[in-house]
Amino acid sequence: MIDRSAPRGVLPAPDPRGVQTVPAALPVHPRTGRLLVLATVFVCAACGLVYELELLALGSYLIGDSVTQASVVLSVMVFAMGVGSLLAKRLRRRPAFGFGVIEAGLALLGGLSAMALYASFAWLGESRTALVAFSFTIGVLIGAEIPLLMVLIQRIRRQDAGGAVADLFAADYVGALIGGLAFPFLLLPVFGQLIGAMVTGAVNAVMGGALVLWLFRRDLTPRCRRLLVAANATVLAVLASATLFVGDFERVARRAVYGGEVRVAVQTGVQELVLTGPSGGSPRSLDLYLDGRLRVSGYDEYRYHEALVHPAMTGAHARVLVLGGGDGLAAREVLRYRDVASVTVVELDPAVVRLARTDPMLSALNDRAFEDPRLGVVTQDAFAWLRGPAAGDRFDVIVSDLPDPGITPSTKLYSQEFYGLAARALKPGGRLAVHAGPLATRPRTYWTVESTLRAAGLLTSPYSAGGRLSGFAAGPDRTPGGAVGAPPQDWGFVLAALDRVPELRVDRDTPALRAVSTRALQDAARDAARVRPAGGMPPSTLPHPRYT
């Protein structure tokens, strides 16, 4: 929850020295004028919170780790609001003109902030600097609003400072509530991130400009009026032009980010899905991105999925649960065993499953797993499902095919509590296979997953596949853009069981595999053991997450 209790501006009592105290000549009754100022506060507060949420959402999406990005955006903005409040002192001699300029600048920067952050990510490869810069600048402008509005409302009708502050902040906080609700329930689903920010900027410009140019027009010199009209007209023209070309911008930016040919780009209620690869091409040329991160490369995904699934299938495997894996690739490996009776896939985003069913290349890559009558799909959060409807179910094998634990939304799915629920769902002698993140490049994260499994009462066998610590068969890798010769993928896994340390091997009757063998698994386990940190890592829990 965003803290709006921090002042949007330092509100000193009106000082007659240097501040206009002559009542404003208004075109309406003072009571009506006062209501119009409060309505402007309401709208500006709603727009300001939308800008904050837009920066938060894009920062989490483009950079990852939503906790860090929320801390950065909010702390920088609150600090900048204090700076803006102090700077507003210099504008109190001409409060109407100063407020008009601030609102025009805020509308322009806030409206284009989402596009600018995405452009920075697409062409410069990072957006953290732009995120901090926009957070600070927008915060300064928001902080300068209320000191000037305080002067304007006192010019309409003098009242004690406490009463004026109470009125302004009441309108401010109610507006923030409306803006906070409008962002996820209206702007984001209807307009998307880029156009939603531009619509907000246009509303901001119209409301701020109308208040100054109509209600306080007699406070402005003819030159100031012309400047404000030109500034607001320019802002609205820029935002309208950007809105018209946003589709072309997104296509060009996606090519810069993803390379190759973007065939499918879908913004769901959960994430952005992007499929690249030539239409009608080989499934091996397909790449699947989730929120800008390469999740599946058709060129070498078999090495990941074989290493994840087949060690856990040694032993009884009549009933199998796949957590995540809405692309159907882990299920494909499970369904290669004819004696598998049922497979349940629990996937949060139904759009991933729909894409895996209907896209010709992705469905060919997963061998049309979702057409197999043995497979059932549940579209729900894995944690909630294990805790709720599945509480009485028992499985021979559970495959946890989830995003890396360092991505904040998935942190709870790598917690001791989550593994406790998974252990409860195992039959006696059952096995749990977990994708634990990269072992070679992020060993602290990997070993935190392993220690968390042990803290949940499971016995573990760590191993890796595809990286420099692995003895697995590997062909040439490629970068997301398709270049051959990139460093091998670094995948880390943990096989866990309740009653004994699970043996890393594949049965002789396992379907023919391209990358996995018993010897490769055992070599990978020995390599992993050599880099185990002395003393181990503390487990991650819901109240104390350890992943970074």
Which residues are catalytically annotated?
Answer: 401
Are the C-beta atoms of residues 266 and 355 closer than 8 Å to each other?
A: yes
Are the C-beta atoms of residues 105 and 141 closer than 8 Å to each other?
A: yes
Q: For tokens 């070679």, what's the residue? A: 440
**From CA 31, how far away is CA 22, in angstroms rounded?**
17
As beta bridge partners, residue 287 has: 276, 297
Query: 34: closest CA among 147, 141, 159?
Result: 159
**From CA 109, how far away is CA 120, in angstroms rounded?**
15
Question: How many CB atoms within 10 Å of residue 249?
Answer: 15
Are the C-beta atoms of residues 105 and 47 closer than 8 Å to each other?
A: no
Give residue 381's Cα distance to chain centre: 16
Question: Crossing angle of helices 188-210/30-63, nearest 10°?
Answer: 140
Structure tokens at 108: 């322009």
Are the C-beta atoms of residues 458 and 497 closer than 8 Å to each other?
A: yes
What DSSP element (H or E) covers 456? none
As beta bridge partners, residue 347 has: 379
Give residue 489's Cα distance to chain centre: 23
In this structure, the chain runs to a length of: 548
Main-chain phi, psi angles of 170, to 5 degrees: -60, -50
**From CA 416, how far away is CA 437, in angstroms rounded?**
16
User: Long-range CB contacts (< 8 A, 24+ apart) of 540-543?
Assistant: 540/405, 540/411, 540/414, 540/415, 540/416, 540/448, 540/449, 540/452, 541/415, 541/416, 541/417, 541/452, 542/412, 542/415, 542/416, 542/417
Q: Is 60 exposed, middle or buried (0-12, 13-18, 19+ CB in 10 A)?
A: buried
Q: What DSSP letter does each residue of 96-110 carry, written as one string?
A: HHHHHHHHHHHHHHH
Q: For tokens 């959060």, what's the residue? A: 381
Please tell me what DSSP assigns to residue 458.
Answer: -
State the number of CA atoms in the 13 A half-sphere of 212 facing the CB: 31
Query: 409: closest CA among 67, 117, 118?
Result: 67
Q: What DSSP letter does each residue of 232-284 carry, written as one string?
A: HHHHHHHHHHHHHTHHHHHHHHHHHHH-S-EEEEEE-SS-EEEEES-TT--GG
